[in-house]
């Protein structure tokens, strides 16, 4: 069974024949689904059914949480957090390391569930347990570096001892999207837990099962039962209920929703980190290795069918190599295999929903109607599954086309030619987003120098997005409309703490002593300030 790509490539392996449909042998057991959904704190009696984008078949009925359920989730989380904050740091780290092993041991189950829920290719689903294992190991091994009490300079050398404590915020609300349903539900929560917080999580309605499996694994690894609560329901209701009660909000999703959340957090004067959308640029410089750049461009543009915050939607290619590069990139894209299966081997899977498919179709059709050229792709593939769309390369995209500046969040990239690098950087920086960029060049130093002018929170040189995303020690997040705050690294854990300064004063006080007048005290302090500067003190 094979479906030919009208654009010329062998896009194969639809699920048309149930007898040979590899998804058929992996049907989710109702008891398994029930054991996961029973973790949702929901007493409303209402459920919402979800279907798999792979084949449109029903997957689960998801119980819906009411405002009272969210209140109950917070009450439980607060109680658990009080005890957890007193648990020694080494014990917390050890649980994270157990989670690392559990996630690797149960990766097949995790990946199956992700593929069922999201429709993505198995190799893209694998990135999720991989990212969680990296995050768990990183924070477990660096816990003391981030959270130990730190000595600071006291105002009077030797007599003012200052320490800074990292105090957990309390209960963190995590609102996550569907595109990486396992890692987005979990990765930001791991540093929150390590820092001594509890979490109330609201994963996206379309991908609750992967997030619930994450909650189960946390408990199996040894985190206390009530420390991680999961609630379900529409973002505008359940998300708002969470924001009304949380001590901090970590949100990943669209820029439009991020702004609503920021306003609600401002009303309560609580902090939030916002990981939002992008219109990410990739630059292929004249000295790039064109084979490597073409291979990287495929991953940059079509991982998870482009439903990835850090994937590329705009490509700027140096005039000198444009034709040779485009030939290679188009050939590699045409050779991609698409399929609705749980197996390894597909290069791309399905979009997640009709809504996503509609957006992609609208962006491409609008561009074509206004004069853009389709170099490959450009068609929906209902023969493969309800929401499949071909990996698509557009040329001749102009500012009046929707896909020029708006995030498509699908497998569509626009290629532009550039003559000088300063112009390419200016065009890459145009628009409102600033999440991720990629530069291909054989001269690493020159590419790094150019990176400093690119207004994105992460820049990958000779790689699409994985080099920064998987380097957990370095911060990840967006500039401009792509976000506020950072995940990963010390910023990714310190956001969940309040810094508290404790100063112990000895012998002298900050007032006149031993019968000294206020004026004499003023003079003495002035002399002191001059002396400290002379001595080079900070």
Instruction: Give residues in contact with ligand NAD (CB under 6 A).
Output: 175-179, 184, 202, 204, 235-236, 239-240, 252-254, 257, 260-261, 275-278, 309, 407, 409, 435, 478, 483
The least distance separating ligand NAD from the CB of residue 316, rounded to whole angstroms, comes to 20
Q: Of 174 and 439, which CB lies nearer to ligand NAD in the complex structure?
A: 174
CA distance 393 to 412: 6
Q: Of 339 and 478, which CB lies nearer to ligand NAD in the complex structure?
A: 478
Instruction: Identify the bridge partners of residue 515 per DSSP, sorted by sequence position.
Output: none
Is the distance from CB of 284 to CB of 431 less than 8 angstroms?
no
Closest residue by Cα to residue 58 from 69, 66, 49: 49
Is the distance from CB of 440 to CB of 295 less than 8 angstroms?
no
Element (H, E) at 497: strand 497-505
Catalytic residue among 275, 313, 390, 407: 275
The least distance separating ligand NAD from the CB of residue 35, rounded to whole angstroms, comes to 23
CA distance 349 to 122: 8
The least distance separating ligand NAD from the CB of residue 131, rounded to whole angstroms, comes to 11
Q: Of 233 and 339, which CB lies nearer to ligand NAD in the complex structure?
A: 233
DSSP state, residue 66: -
109 catalytic residue (yes or no)? no
CA distance 60 to 47: 9
Phi-psi map region of 514: left, alpha, beta (phi>0 left; psi -120 to 50 alpha): left
The least distance separating ligand NAD from the CB of residue 436, rounded to whole angstroms, comes to 8
User: In the numeric block, which tokens belong to residue 410?
Assistant: 């699908």
The least distance separating ligand NAD from the CB of residue 144, rounded to whole angstroms, comes to 27
Q: Of 14 and 478, which CB lies nearer to ligand NAD in the complex structure?
A: 478
Torsion of CA 24, 28, 31, 33, to 10 degrees: -150
Q: Of 235 and 386, which CB lies nearer to ligand NAD in the complex structure?
A: 235
Contacts of 527 (CB under 8 A, 6+ apart): none
275 catalytic residue (yes or no)? yes
Instruction: Identify the bridge partners of residue 436 per DSSP, sorted by sequence position.
Output: 458
Contacts of 135 (CB under 8 A, 6+ apart): 183, 187, 190, 191, 472, 488
The least distance separating ligand NAD from the CB of residue 464, rounded to whole angstroms, comes to 15
Q: Of 186 and 435, which CB lies nearer to ligand NAD in the complex structure?
A: 435
At 292 the three-state DSSP class reads: helix
Catalytic residue among 187, 265, 309, 456: 309
User: In the numeric block, which tokens belong to residue 330?
Assistant: 């188009």
CA distance 160 to 365: 68
**Residue carrying structure tokens 């500067």:** 533
Which of the residues are catalytic?
Answer: 275, 309
């Amino acid at each position: 069974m094979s479906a030919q790509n009208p654009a010329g490539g062998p896009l194969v392996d639809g699920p048309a024949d149930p007898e040979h449909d590899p998804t058929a042998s992996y049907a989710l057991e109702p008891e398994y689904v029930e054991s996961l959904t029973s973790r949702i704190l929901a007493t409303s009696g209402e459920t919402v059914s979800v279907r798999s984008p792979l084949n449109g078949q029903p997957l689960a009925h998801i119980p819906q949480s009411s405002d009272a359920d969210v209140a109950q989730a917070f009450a439980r989380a607060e109680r658990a957090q009080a005890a957890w904050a007193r648990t020694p740091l080494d014990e917390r780290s050890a649980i994270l390391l157990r989670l690392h092993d559990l996630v690797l041991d149960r990766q097949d189950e995790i990946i199956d569930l992700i593929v069922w829920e999201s429709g993505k290719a198995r190799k893209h689903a694998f990135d999720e347990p991989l990212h969680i294992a990296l995050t768990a190991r990183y924070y477990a091994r660096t816990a003391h570096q981030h959270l130990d009490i730190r000595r600071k300079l006291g105002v009077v050398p030797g007599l003012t001892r200052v320490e800074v404590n990292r105090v957990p915020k309390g209960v963190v609300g995590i609102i996550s999207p569907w595109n990486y349903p396992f890692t987005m539900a979990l990765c930001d929560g791991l540093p929150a837990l390590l820092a001594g917080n509890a979490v109330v999580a609201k994963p996206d309605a379309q991908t609750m099962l992967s997030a619930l499996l994450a909650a189960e694994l946390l408990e199996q690894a040894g985190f206390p039962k009530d420390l991680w609560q999961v609630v379900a329901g529409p973002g505008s209701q359940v998300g708002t209920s969470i924001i009304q009660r949380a001590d901090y909000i970590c949100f990943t999703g669209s820029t439009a929703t991020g702004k609503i959340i920021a306003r609600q957090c401002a009303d309560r004067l609580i902090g939030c980190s916002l990981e939002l959308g992008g219109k990410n640029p990739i630059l292929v410089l004249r000295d790039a290795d064109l084979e490597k750049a073409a291979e990287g461009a495929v991953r940059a543009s079509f991982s998870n069918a482009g439903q990835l915050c850090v994937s590329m939607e705009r490509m700027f290619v140096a005039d000198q190599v444009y034709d040779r590069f485009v030939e290679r990139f188009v050939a590699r894209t045409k050779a991609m295999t698409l399929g609705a299966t749980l197996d390894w081997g597909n290069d791309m899977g399905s979009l997640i929903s009709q809504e996503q498919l509609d957006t992609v179709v609208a962006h491409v059709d609008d561009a074509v109607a206004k004069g853009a050229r389709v170099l490959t792709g450009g068609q929906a593939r209902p023969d493969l599954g309800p929401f499949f769309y071909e990996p698509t390369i557009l040329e001749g995209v102009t500012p009046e086309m929707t896909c020029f500046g708006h995030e498509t969040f699908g497998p569509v990239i626009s290629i532009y030619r550039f003559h000088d690098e300063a112009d390419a950087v200016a065009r890459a920086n145009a628009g409102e987003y600033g999440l991720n960029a990629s530069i291909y060049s054989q001269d690493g130093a020159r590419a790094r120098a150019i990176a400093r002018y690119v207004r994105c929170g992460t820049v990958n040189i000779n790689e699409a997005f994985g080099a920064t995303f998987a380097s957990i020690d370095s911060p990840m997040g967006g500039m401009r409309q792509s976000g506020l705050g950072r995940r990963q690294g010390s910023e990714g854990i310190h956001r969940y703490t309040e810094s508290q300064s404790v100063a112990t004063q000895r012998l002298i006080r900050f007032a006149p002593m031993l019968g000294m007048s206020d004026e004499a005290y003023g003079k003495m302090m002035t002399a002191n300030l001059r002396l400290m500067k002379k001595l080079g003190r900070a």
